[in-house]
Amino acid sequence: MDKDDLIKKWLKDELTDSEKETFSKLDDAELNEYIIDNAHYFKASHFSELDNFNSFSTQYKSTKGLVKKLNWFNPFLKIASVIVIGLGIYLTFFTSTNTYIETLASEKTVMELPDHSKVELNALSSIEFNTKDWKDNRVLKLNGEAYFVVAKGKTFDVKTNSGIVTVVGTQFNVKQRDNYFEVKCFEGVVKVISDTISRKLLAGDTYQILNGKFTEGKTLESLPRWKENISDFDAIPLKEVLLELERQYNIQVSFKNVDSNRLFTGAFVHNNLDNALIAITQPMNMTYELSSSNLVIIHGKKK
């Protein structure tokens, strides 16, 4: 069979077994196979078009000698392979089914998950989950603080850098900050695992790891108070309280003559900075000054 006819049949995938054997012995069979195998990764250029196979064949023959003589064909194959792999990674990245939501300082947001579970994010927090697999794999990654109302169904996991919270259908709050991990269960049952510490929480139970120290406790609240624009604390180091103040008001706080590890019990509001500062400083015999629009200086009592 004529070589051109053989290639035409190969392009149409109409070769018989004997013709395939003949085709494989062609001196440029490997090149032809490579072009076809990788052509679907690339979009055709609009700068030139070949009318038909005969035109392609004529052009191919005119360059055939050069292809045989050039020594850079193997490096070209390596470069082309890198391009193909790169395109695959690019397409995978930009067709990702992951959903990512974050809040800024002094911002909160509420969203509904694909199963109608609800998540409310506190300031400077984020969640990420896969929408495509959500029905069979309810897994969500949290960085920051969020309140969850989980619809009944398969296991629901909240993963953080500090631990994993597992539920079926319930209401709970998870707070994960630097050196601070806290879970409060308001309804149902919650399983929490952090390193080797595993607990099952019922409504009203709390789980806390602060600066590496684990404690269990109780809450009489039916909801986290930050949902009502109030941050409350029970024997929490002052530096953690002021970090939360920074998140809620988008400010910077500095200290003078202050023991930042001193424990604070109390609360502050999210809608009035002066009232919030008074609520923090007065019980601890401190004062404050607003030196600029976003800088607050806390003064302790001089010794």
CATH number at residue 273: 3.55.50.30
pTM above 0.85?
no
218 and 239 co-located in one domain: no
H-helix segments, 40-136: 53-69, 73-94
Give me 172's structure tokens. 């709970």
- Per-residue pLDDT for 9 more than 90? no
97, 130 contact by CB (below 8 A): yes
222 and 234 co-located in one domain: no
59 and 131 co-located in one domain: no
Categorize the per-residue pLDDT at 43 as very low, low, confident or very high, splitting at 50, 70 and 90: very low
- Least confident among 7-21, 77-91, 161-175, 215-229: 77-91
Q: What is the pLDDT of residue 128?
A: 97
188 and 206 co-located in one domain: yes
* Buried-state track 207-233, b at ≥16 Cβ within 10 A, e below 16: bbbbeeeeeeeebeeebbebeeebbbb
Number of domains composing the chain: 3
* Pairing of β 205-210 and β 213-218: antiparallel
238 and 280 co-located in one domain: yes
- Give the residue numbers spanning the domain of 37: 3-94
CATH code of residue 128: 2.60.120.1440
Give me 185's structure tokens. 């269960």
Residue ending a domain, among 173, 191, 226, is 226
Q: What is the pLDDT of residue 15?
A: 75
